[in-house]
Copies of this chain bind each other. A is one copy, B any other.
Amino acid sequence: MPRYDAPIRDMQFILHDVLQIQNYSNLPGFEEVTPDLVNAILEEGGKFAKEVLYPLRAIGDQQGCIRNADASVKTPDGFPDAYKQLVEGGWPLLSVSPDMGGQGLPHIVNIAWTEMVSSSNMAFGMYPGLTHGAYQALMAGGSEELKQKYGPKMASAEWAGTMNLTEPQCGTDLGLIKTKAVPQPDGTYKITGQKIWISGGEQDLTENIIHLVLARIEGGPEGIKGISLFLVPKYLVNEDGSLGERNPASCGGLEEKMGIHGNATCVMNYDGATGYLVGEEHKGMRTMFVMMNEARLGVGLQGLSQAEAAYQNAVDFAKDRLQGRSLTGAQAEEKPADPIIVHPDVRRMLLDQKAFIEGGRAFAYWTAFQADLEHKSPDEKVREKAADYMALLTPVVKAYLTHKGYECANAGLQLHGGSGFTREWGLEQIVRDCRITTIYEGTNGVQALDLVGRKLAANGGRAVFSFFADIDDFVATHEGNEDLKPFLDGLQSIKAELQEATMWLMQNGMSDFNNAGASSHDYLHLFGLTALAFMWARMAKVALEKKGSDPFYETKLKTGRYFIDRMLPDGAAHLAKVKTGAASMMALEAEAF
Contact = CB atoms under 8 A, between A and B. Distances in A.
A561 interface: yes
A519 to B, nearest CB: 8
Interface in A273-293: none
Interface string A429-443: 001100110111001
Q: How often does this chain occur in the complex, in copies?
A: 2
Contacts of A406: 410
A592 to B, nearest CB: 4
Given A323-B172, A328-B514, A345 B422 contact: no
A421 interface: yes
A385 to B, nearest CB: 29
A348 B574 CA distance: 13
Contact of A171 (B417, B448, B565, B586): B417
A349 to B, nearest CB: 8
Contacts of A480: none
A318 B445 CA distance: 14
Given A414-B439, A438-B414, A590-B319, A421 B521 contact: no
Contacts of A457: none
A343 interface: yes
A517 B173 contact: no
A418 B440 contact: yes
Given A176-B336, A428-B257, A428-B258, A348 B414 contact: no
Contact of A520 (B318, B345, B513, B518): B345
A521 B348 contact: yes
Contacts of A558: 584, 587-588, 592
Interface string A531-559: 00000000000000000000100110011
B580 A565 contact: yes
Interface of A: 166, 169-173, 176, 197, 255-259, 315, 318-319, 322-324, 327-328, 336-337, 339, 341-351, 354, 406, 410, 413-414, 417-418, 420-424, 428, 431-432, 435-436, 438-440, 443-445, 448-449, 453, 512-514, 516-518, 520-521, 551, 554-555, 558-559, 561-562, 565-566, 569-570, 572-573, 576-577, 580, 582-588, 590, 592-593
